[in-house]
A and B are shown apart, each in its own frame.
Chain A
Amino acid sequence: MIDYSQRLNPEVQALQPSGIRKFFDIANEMEDVISLSIGEPDFVTPWHIRQAGIRSLEDGKTWYSPNRGFIELREGICKWFMRHYHVHYEPKTECLVTVGGSEAIDGCIRCMVQPGDEVLIPQPSFVCYQPLTEMAGGVPVIIETKAEHGFRLTPEELKAAITPKTKLLILPYPNNPTGAVMRREHLEAIANVLHGTDVMVLSDEIYSELTYGDTRHVTFSEIPEMRERTIVINGFSKAFAMTGWRLGFALGPAPIIKQMTKLHQYAIMSAPTMSQLAAVEAMNNGDGDSAYMREQYDMRRRLIVDGFNALGLTCFEPEGAFYIFPCIRSTGLSSDDFCEKLIQEEHVAVVPGTAFGKCGEGFVRVSYSYSIKHITEALSRIGHFMQSHHADTL
């Protein structure tokens, strides 16, 4: 008998599985569950983009692409990025097409981080940064962002966290799970702290197209002198409802992209050809699709924020992504208990804030990537839940 625990890498074994799982297992066994837990668009990929993917199969384009991705896609990406975010990247040397934003995050961290290097990770945030840092031998340094600052990273918090060992700062905005956005002035304040240091920045901007309000998303690489230290991660999943196509990209200085390309080449070879050819269509003719989806999400966002506030589950106004992050402390329950009771009693699934970092305690993540009908039904069930739990505390 092989004792697998002796044969497996203890560091991998020590990685924590995602904390969300328990609730999904409960939800899966129930009928009539209303879920507000899923973190992907409810839209189907726009037809003209799907058609481009279908055409690629009809034309028999079933071979590998170049390691970095098709040049027409990299050109499309760089033009799209320039058109939306006003920073030029060279398609040949400063762009790498990856299997989702996730691969780009992994590749970037592995390229930069040496054993002992500190990686600054604002939380609450997407779950992958910490384990990927640990696997690279780095030391995750968690910065707990606060509700009173709109869950933005503040220059003071950043300054306090930087040490001579700091190698990389993760900037996960627009943020999953909080919906927080860093506007230009907030990014400038961060840049001021970074000036004169050699801290690099991984700016995970996968939700960039889902930024609401009067001004659009600002990429960190647009802030003066930040381009040379920034790797921008973005992709197609959120902006074009293409999660299942698994396609993302990294934009950054040529020497970094060159090293990331080597890792990508050995681990992945190249991103799927069909997905890349569909993505060319998205880059060239998909702006209207993103704008339409953004408008739909925006209406749902206002509806759900208003609904939660009316129930006494206050949430700060999320300005990006498709999540709200209401505070549930008024119920006297922990995040885990709230989620467990809500699914048991009202069959509504949401995700405890603690799944995104310890400082998510007292909050839950609610996705509004659902139809208005679905959202209003969920709100009415949560309203019922709040009534019965209010009565409990009397």
Chain B
Amino acid sequence: MDRLLTLLNENARLTTEQLAVMLNETEENVNNAIMKYEREGVIRGYKAIINWEKVDCNNAIAIIELRVSPKRERGFDEIANKIMSLPEVDSVYLVSGGYDLAVIIHGSTMQEIAMFVMRRLSTLDSVLSTTTHFILTRYKADGIIMNAAEETDGRRDLSCD
């Protein structure tokens, strides 16, 4: 049922019926497989990918590089847990390279994010330094090209010149 995951990853709004038809399975089997994936934590949620720039509302995103000192017993887990429990935080990744944690934050304004980094992140005990990168434009996110107009079908009907 790996193909089920691939299909849902591309479009989580396909109905059980459509999935069953495409996979040549019964609806019941597909339903059971989805429930099993959800139970086991393989599928962790469903959400829409929204181009907020098209919506008339304030939205700012930043990627924050954190250098932190790991704890003797728990390594990076303790600080990562603290950070991911903050609701403003969208994603937390432990990364290799010049810094340790990559944190993605959504806020209503850049100012709000700046304040959040200053007051909540940089004040955490094991945080050594932060570097904040504000996202200026999202061209593509989660495999989706944000500006639909750029997602064109270059094929032409042969005989229509």
B157 touching A27, Cβ below 8 Å: yes
Q: Which residues of A contact B23 (CB under 8 A)?
A: 299
CA distance A18 to B158 in the complex (A): 10
CA distance A345 to B7 in the complex (A): 31
Minimum CB–CB distance for A366 against chain B, Å: 14
CA distance A228 to B158 in the complex (A): 35
A25 within 8 A of partner (CB): yes
B18 touching A37, Cβ below 8 Å: no
Q: Residue B24 contacts which of A17, A302, A376 (CB distance < 8 angstroms)?
A: A302
Minimum CB–CB distance for B112 against chain A, Å: 34
A24 touching B160, Cβ below 8 Å: yes
If A299-B23, A302-B24 touch, does A376 touch B18 (CB 8 Å cutoff)?
A: yes
CA distance A303 to B19 in the complex (A): 8
Chain A interface main SS type: helix
CA distance A35 to B14 in the complex (A): 21
Q: Residue A38 contacts which of B7, B10, B14, B155 (CB distance < 8 angstroms)?
A: B155
B96 within 8 A of partner (CB): no
B15 to chain A: closest residue by CB: A376
If A21-B160, A299-B7, A372-B14 touch, does A40 touch B21 (CB 8 Å cutoff)?
A: no
Minimum CB–CB distance for A15 against chain B, Å: 13
B11 within 8 A of partner (CB): yes
A24 touching B22, Cβ below 8 Å: no
CA distance A171 to B18 in the complex (A): 34
A72 within 8 A of partner (CB): no
Q: Residue B159 contacts which of A24, A35, A373 (CB distance < 8 angstroms)?
A: A24
If A17-B159, A25-B160, A38-B157 touch, does A372 touch B11 (CB 8 Å cutoff)?
A: yes
Q: Which residues of B contact A300 (CB under 8 A)?
A: 22
B40 within 8 A of partner (CB): no
Minimum CB–CB distance for B84 against chain A, Å: 32
Q: Could you say which of B11, B14, B160 has the most chain A C-beta atoms within 10 Å of its C-beta?
A: B160
Number of B residues near A (Cβ < 8 Å) is 17
CA distance A299 to B14 in the complex (A): 13
Q: Residue B21 contacts which of A17, A35, A295, A306 (CB distance < 8 angstroms)?
A: A306
A42 within 8 A of partner (CB): yes
Minimum CB–CB distance for B14 against chain A, Å: 7
Q: Which residues of B contact A295 (CB under 8 A)?
A: 3
Minimum CB–CB distance for A348 against chain B, Å: 14
Minimum CB–CB distance for A25 against chain B, Å: 6
CA distance A21 to B160 in the complex (A): 6
Q: Which residues of B contact A40 (CB under 8 A)?
A: 155
A28 within 8 A of partner (CB): yes
B153 within 8 A of partner (CB): yes
If A18-B159, A24-B159, A372-B11 touch, does A302 touch B153 (CB 8 Å cutoff)?
A: no
CB-CB contacts below 8 Å: A360-393 with B? 372-373, 376
B: which residues have CB within 8 A of A?
Answer: 3, 7, 10-11, 14, 18, 21-24, 153, 155-160
Listed A/B pairs (20) with beta-carbon separation below 8 Å: A20-B159, A24-B160, A27-B157, A35-B153, A35-B157, A37-B157, A38-B153, A38-B155, A38-B156, A38-B157, A42-B155, A295-B3, A299-B22, A299-B23, A302-B21, A303-B18, A303-B22, A372-B11, A373-B11, A376-B18
Query: A302-B24, A372-B7, A376-B14 are known contacts; what are 12 more A-B pairs with Cβ within 8 Å?
Result: A24-B159, A24-B160, A27-B160, A35-B153, A38-B157, A39-B158, A299-B7, A300-B22, A302-B21, A303-B18, A372-B14, A376-B18
A: which residues have CB within 8 A of B?
Answer: 17-18, 20-21, 24-25, 27-28, 35, 37-40, 42, 295, 299-300, 302-303, 306, 372-373, 376
